[in-house]
Amino acid sequence: MIDRYTLPEMGGIWTDEARYRKWLAVEIAVCEVLSRRKEIPERSCLNIKKKADINVKRIEAIEEKTKHDVIAFKQCVDGYIGKDSIYFHRGLTSSDVLDTGLALQLRAAADIIIRDVKKTIAILKRKTKQYKDLPMMGRTHGVHAEPITFGLKLAVWWKEMERNLIRMERAREIISYGKISGAVGTFSNIDPAIEAEVCKKLGLKNAPVSNQIIQRDRHAEYLSVIAIIGSSLDKFATEIRHLQRTEVYEAEEPFAKGQKGSSAMPHKRNPITCERISGLARILRANAITGYENIALWHERDISHSSVERVTLPDSTILLDYMLNKFNWLMDNLNVYPENMLANLNKMQGLMYSQKVRIALTNKGMLYDRAYKLVQDSAMRVWKKEGSFRELLLKDKRVCKLLTEKELDACFDMGAYLKNVKKIFKRLGV
Tell me the catalytic residues.
141, 262
**Which residues, 6+ apart, have CB-to-CB distance to 127 below 8 Å?**
151, 154, 331, 334
**Three-state secondary structure readout of the chain:** CCHHHCCHHHHHHCCHHHHHHHHHHHHHHHHHHHHHCCCCCHHHHHHHHHHCCCCHHHHHHHHHHHCCHHHHHHHHHHHHHCHHHHHCCCCCCHHHHHHHHHHHHHHHHHHHHHHHHHHHHHHHHHHHHHCCCCEEEEEECCEEEEEEEHHHHHHHHHHHHHHHHHHHHHHHHHHCEECCCCHHHCCCCCCHHHHHHHHHHCCCEECCCCCCCCCCHHHHHHHHHHHHHHHHHHHHHHHHHHHHCCCCCCEECCCCCCCCCCCCCCCCCCCHHHHHHHHHHHHHHHHHHHHHHCCCCCCCCCCHHHHHHHHHHHHHHHHHHHHHHHHHHHHHCCEECHHHHHHHHHHCCCHHHHHHHHHHHHHCCCCHHHHHHHHHHHHHHHHCCCCCHHHHHHCCHHHHCCCCHHHHHHCCCHHHHCHHHHHHHHHHCC
Do the strands 205-206 and 177-178 form a parallel or antiparallel pair, or are they unpaired? Answer: parallel
Contact 105, 22 (CB under 8 A): yes
